[in-house]
Amino acid sequence: MATRPPHRPPLVQSPSLLLLLLLLVHPFLSAATPSITTKAVPRLPGFSGPLPFSLETGYVALDDGVRLFYYFIQSERDPAEDPVLLWLTGGPGCSALSGLVYEIGPFYFDFHGYTGGLPTLLYKPASWTKVSNVIFVDAPAGTGFSYATGDKRTIPSDTIAIQQLHVFLETWFGEHPQFLSNPLYISGDSYSGIIIPSLAMKIAKGIEVGDERLINLKGVIAGNPLTDTTTAFNARIPFLHGMGIIPDEIYEAAREGCGGEYRWPSNSHCANSLQDIQECMRGLNDVHVLEKICPEYPSLALQKQPTSQDHGRRRLTESAVSSLCRNATYFLSELWTNDEAVRESLAIHKETVPSWLRCDFNLPYTYEISSTVDDHLALITKGYRAMIYSGDHDSKVSYVDTQAWIRRLNLPITDRWRPWHLDDQIVGYTRTYSNNLTYATVKICLFERQLISDEGAGHTAPEYMPRECLAMIDRWLSDYEIWEGLFSCVELMQRRMDGVDRHERCLNYDERHLPVSAIGSRSSGQD
C-alpha cells in the first residue's frame, strides 16, 4: 500500500512563521469595520465544577445592525495544530447550541435523571472537540441568540447568510490570529448543505484574487446535506421503497405515472399514486424512519406570560422528558437557555432575545439557492477536500439523493465501496473518489438503545451515533481512509498493545471518560 502523506500539510509546519507573514501582509480590520466582543466561560450553570475544556462566547457585530452570537470550543488535544471547524446547524432557524449539545459538542443534558428545575449538563467524551477546534455560530440573525437592530433589518436569505458568515469569519480570525494557520473546514448538516459549499466557494474565490485574509481553507464537511432541492424530495420515494415502507406495486405505479418527478403531479395517475404513498408515510418519523414519532410538546419559550395553564403544561412536559422520545429531550435546551444565570454566564445581551428557541421554523427567510452541486464540483476541482456522510435511516435528505448527486460529479472512484469499523463491528460503508472526496454512511441505532448505552444515525448522524461519527471524522481529518481502523482505544488498551499502527488507529483519551458501553468488560488489574 502506498505511503500516506504526513498528517500536517507543509503550510502549517511552521505556524509562527506563517503567522508573522500574515500579520505583515494583511493588517487586521480597522475600527470602521465589523467588531467582536468575547468572553471566556470557565463554568456553566448546571455543570458541576470548572469546564474540562476551553469555552469562549461572543458576538460579531456586522455593519448592518446584525449581531451574530457564537460558541468557540478549543480542541482538547492540540488547539495550536488541530483544524478549525465552522459548524453551521441546519433549519434554517436552528440554533448553534443544538449542534453543540445534541450533536458534536463536549457536553449534553442529563435527560436520564431530570426531575425538574435547571437541567444538569454532563461531559460528553465523543465530541469532535477531541480532535478539532469548533466555532458554533447562530446564523442567520434571528436564530438562537443572534439578533438584528435598527432600521436596516432585512429578511435573511441564502445569499445574506453567506455574506454575513463570510464577514463573521474574517472578523473572528482578526480577533484570533493564532488560528489563522490551522486548517479550516466549513461544516454542518441538513439545510446547511446549501450554505456550506457556497460559503467555501466565496472564501476560495477571495483567496484566488488576493482579497481574502489568508485563511487556511482546506475543505468542507457535510452531513445529510440538502444539496439539490429538486432531487432531495424525489429521492424520498425510492428510499422509502427500499426500506419496505412503500410496496412494489405502489412504487412501480408512481414511477410509471410520475416519471421520477414526485413534487408536482402532472396527471391523475401520478396524483393517485402519490396519495397512496402519503398513506404509507402517515405517522412516519421522517428524520429517522425506525424511531417512533412523538407528540410535539408545548414550548415554554413561546409563552411570554406564564399562566396557571402554562404551569400545567410545564409539569406535563417535564414528566415527558424521561420518555423514549428524542424530541422530548429538546425541551431541556429551552429551560436552560432561558434561565437568567445561564444567560449571564454566556454574556447574552439583555432584552435582545426574550425567548430562546432551539429551532424557529417560523423565522422569515428567503430561499434563493436551489442547488450547490456545481459549487461542490468547483471546490473539488480546485483541490479542496470534501467529507460527505449520511445517516442511513433519514428520509428527508436520504443517502439515495446524496449518492445520486455525487455520481453527477462524474469523478473516478479511487477506493471501492467497503465497510468501515469501530470496536471490530461494521458501523457504515464508505467510498473514496478522486480529488479528495470521501463519502460514508453511518448505521443507525434506536433511541431506546441510546438511552441504555449512551450511543445514539438519522438526519443528524452525530446525534444518533456520536462515537462512530467521532471515529469517522478523526480518521478523515488525519488523512486516513475511513475504513483504516478496526478497533477502539479501549480495545487496544485491553489488548495491552505497546503501539498503534495506522491500521489500528484510535483516539488517545482516558478510558475513564468513555461511555460505559464503549468500555465493556474489564480484565483484572485495571483501574
Q: Which of 130-144, 424-438, 479-493 has the lowest mean pLDDT?
A: 479-493
pLDDT at residue 381, as a whole number: 96
For residue 489, give Cα distances in angstroms to 161, 235, 423, 466, 511.
40, 38, 9, 15, 8
Q: Which of 18-27, 106-115, 363-372 has the lowest mean pLDDT?
A: 18-27
* Nearest partner of 138 among 187, 100, 195, 97, judged by Cα: 97
Catalytic (active site) residue 513: no
* 86 in Cβ contact with 161 (< 8 Å): no
pLDDT at residue 296, as a whole number: 54
Q: From CA 274, how far away is CA 268, in angstroms rounded?
A: 10
Average pLDDT (33-39) is: 89
Q: From CA 431, how far away is CA 413, in angstroms rounded?
A: 8
CA angle 11, 506, 438 (to 5 degrees): 60
Residue pLDDT, tens place only, 351-398? 999 999 999 989 999 999 999 999 999 999 999 999 999 988 777 888
Q: 277 pLDDT band (50/70/90 cuts)?
A: confident
Catalytic (active site) residue 394: yes
CATH superfamily, region 10-229+367-486: Alpha/Beta hydrolase fold, catalytic domain (3.40.50.1820)
Q: From CA 67, how far away is CA 274, in angstroms rounded?
A: 44
Q: Is the pLDDT of residue 103 over 60?
A: yes
Q: From CA 384, how far away is CA 185, in angstroms rounded?
A: 10
pLDDT at residue 523, as a whole number: 29
Average pLDDT (341-356) is: 96
Residue pLDDT, tens place only, 86-99? 999 988 999 999 99
pLDDT above 70 coverage of the chain, percent: 74
Retrieve residue 375's grid coordinates. Answer: 459549487
Q: From CA 176, how far away is CA 400, in angstroms rounded?
A: 40
* 502 in Cβ contact with 484 (< 8 Å): yes
Single out the catalytic residue among 189, 392, 459, 474. 459
Q: 260 pLDDT band (50/70/90 cuts)?
A: confident
Q: 318 pLDDT band (50/70/90 cuts)?
A: very low
Q: From CA 22, how far away is CA 19, in angstroms rounded?
A: 5
Residue pLDDT, tens place only, 428-470? 999 999 989 999 999 865 444 444 333 334 345 567 778 888 9
Contact partners, residue 232, CB within 8 Å, separation at least 6: 226, 396, 397, 398, 401
pLDDT at residue 511, as a whole number: 34
pLDDT at residue 279, as a whole number: 84
At which residue does the C-alpha cell 480546485 appear? 382
Q: 204 pLDDT band (50/70/90 cuts)?
A: very high
Residue pLDDT, tens place only, 231-244? 888 888 888 888 88
Q: What is the mean pLDDT of the chain?
A: 79
Retrieve residue 173's grid coordinates. Answer: 480570525
Retrieve residue 274's grid coordinates. Answer: 402519490
The winner for highest mean pLDDT among 15-24, 280-289, 366-375, 451-460 is 366-375
Longest dimension (CA), the chain: 72
Q: 313 pLDDT band (50/70/90 cuts)?
A: very low
Retrieve residue 507's grid coordinates. Answer: 483516539
Burial class (CB within 10 angstroms; exposed 0-12, middle 13-18, buried 19+) of 378: middle
Catalytic (active site) residue 190: yes
pLDDT at residue 323, as a whole number: 52
At which residue does the C-alpha cell 457585530 appear? 61
Single out the catalytic residue among 394, 401, 454, 474. 394
Q: Is the pLDDT of residue 306 over 50?
A: no
What residues does each domain of the chain span? 10-229+367-486, 488-527
Average pLDDT (150-178) is: 91
- Residue 45: Cβ within 10 Å count: 17
pLDDT at residue 369, as a whole number: 96
pLDDT at residue 374, as a whole number: 97
Residue pLDDT, tens place only, 171-203? 999 999 999 999 999 999 889 999 999 999 999
Single out the catalytic residue among 190, 192, 390, 488. 190
More confident residue, 299 or 476: 476
* 505 in Cβ contact with 475 (< 8 Å): yes
Through-space distance between the first and last CA atoms of the chain, rounded to whole angstroms: 38
